[in-house]
Chains A and B, each alone.
Chain A
């Protein structure tokens, strides 16, 4: 009550122009890069050198640009998958495990199903990846759909189970016969590999991602089931009142979501990696959550952001050349999300500085208004 100091306060504002609102995530990304640069600087690393390597390594040359695009494909697929569940307020953080199960199924089809005719092996492997990822996701969300159990932690637990399940095979009967000691499967035969574009290593899986983005856009904008998913996301009570079958919608969306993550795994196995490896998702499923969220679940923005994050991963290898640990990439990703989250309040509010008068309960926003955006 007796406080005379200067205080800050948030005040509601009119909605911002969409273009101005788009600037907030972009500004957040820049601030995150700046903050991480400062952190590297104060920990004694060469921050400017690291960022130069980052940009050279990601988009500096045509080859690096194509490699970044290659890195972006699994990110696109996983982020699109995460986005469709988050859009209906379903916190699916299990993309990492769904990716692994998809990769596992594709490998199984390509290596251990000799009865499939050769030309059909690749399509069968891709479809198996989608189905396996989708079913794994459906299994994880069943407690939510049937009994209303919180899905966040369960989908996460399924990641650890999936990793151990794949390890069981990789350290056991699926271990490569070439005699190397690494927990890798045998390499896939060439007829089970995806075509690459021109002289790059970019696989044709990028078209799957593009088609998926268009389908998702159409689904949410133009179909009644997409409308139902949006209503459930906004208010499950309203959806129930309107007679929508919530459990059915949850299962459907989750199968598609896990299926997309499974596709990411399958197209990596039949693509640049060419085999099943332990922990091959390597955080893709977690980066996907960040991408989906900062893009506000818009499928086309997700494609662009995935490209940026792919560049971040690809350029991150370059940063190690100036002795910056690779984990900086993870930190930058997380910081971007933090700053986007922090920036959101400025799209709804404005910051007001005011002086609190003695014994006065009423606030006087008399002082200058700071931070318009």
Chain B
């Protein structure tokens, strides 16, 4: 019981950046704009978050700095894909390249410097006393606690509110929304920007809470894993959170097994999240399934051009 609880608690902490990234991407993709550049946004979020915290001495400033950087990238990405109608897959790849470069470029100033404090685990009095659930859920850091609100809120907004209905319609049938007098372009700009800001927090989580330091390429493919997670989660924030914990537990279990003495070479353990992504993608979208995943937003990745209506 104790072992399971500690594995689950670590899994949530490993899964948190994936949750931020996949929730941000779900918001963007539900509006019809696919963004494969998550890895680049997370890297920029990681470095700007770290630098902001380093210079201001405030962790909140770190998170806000990352969100601001993410929002700027989001605006730029929306300009490219919504206004200039660039190919979204290639544009996402370009974003990964530029994000990798910029994070390494800016990261020179952060290399080897240690922030004075990072997001530590805080046990919530009372709640952390609950048997089993307490140590799993309520002995985490503040950024994980924030997720307990972000994930359900994103779900509630998407599926239970009127603006959320519009957001989903944006990804399904933008022409209908346009006919109803809603500005498709403006809303897509909004949701891509908000989505990217949330993705960037996932990057900042890594440098401010998980391994408080900056190393080049610190996200190690988590952005790509999050992109796969969105498909696996059928564009639903709650499923994405569950999937992220599944990924987290694979990673944590691999490491724990080594501690117990079951020797798998560490290189193969570190492969597990990537292999897991491949397997999950195959089983969640493979055409051998009887019921095909039909929840993909119908207009995902398609440009909206008023003249081609």
Contact = CB atoms under 8 A, between A and B. Distances in A.
A286 B281 CA distance: 22
A175 to B, nearest CB: 13
Interface of A: 11-12, 91, 93, 143, 147-150, 152-154, 156-158, 160-161, 164-165, 167-168, 171-172, 286, 289-290, 293, 325-335, 337-338, 341-342, 344-345
Chain A binding surface SS class: helix
B221 A337 contact: no
B307 A12 contact: yes
A341 B90 contact: yes
B4 to A, nearest CB: 28
Given A147-B286, A289-B93, A325-B105, A161 B275 contact: yes
B3 interface: no
Given A153-B228, A157-B277, A160-B221, A331 B91 contact: no
A290 B97 contact: yes
Contacts of B6: none
A-B CB proximity, top 7 nearest: A330-B101, A334-B98, A334-B97, A331-B101, A327-B104, A147-B286, A341-B86
A338 B103 CA distance: 17
Interface of B: 36, 80, 84-87, 89-91, 93-105, 108, 220-221, 224-225, 227-228, 231, 265, 267-268, 270-271, 274-275, 277-278, 281-282, 285-288, 307
B224 A157 contact: yes
B309 to A, nearest CB: 13
Contacts, number: 134
A224 to B, nearest CB: 27
Given A152-B36, A160-B221, A161-B271, A143 B278 contact: yes
B286 A149 contact: yes
A22 to B, nearest CB: 19
Given A149-B287, A338-B98, 19 more contacts: A150-B285, A152-B89, A153-B231, A157-B225, A157-B277, A164-B268, A165-B267, A168-B267, A286-B93, A286-B97, A325-B105, A327-B101, A327-B103, A327-B104, A331-B105, A333-B101, A334-B101, A341-B87, A345-B84
A126 to B, nearest CB: 27
Contacts of A286: 93, 96-97
Contact of B86 (A330, A332, A345): A345
A330 B104 contact: yes
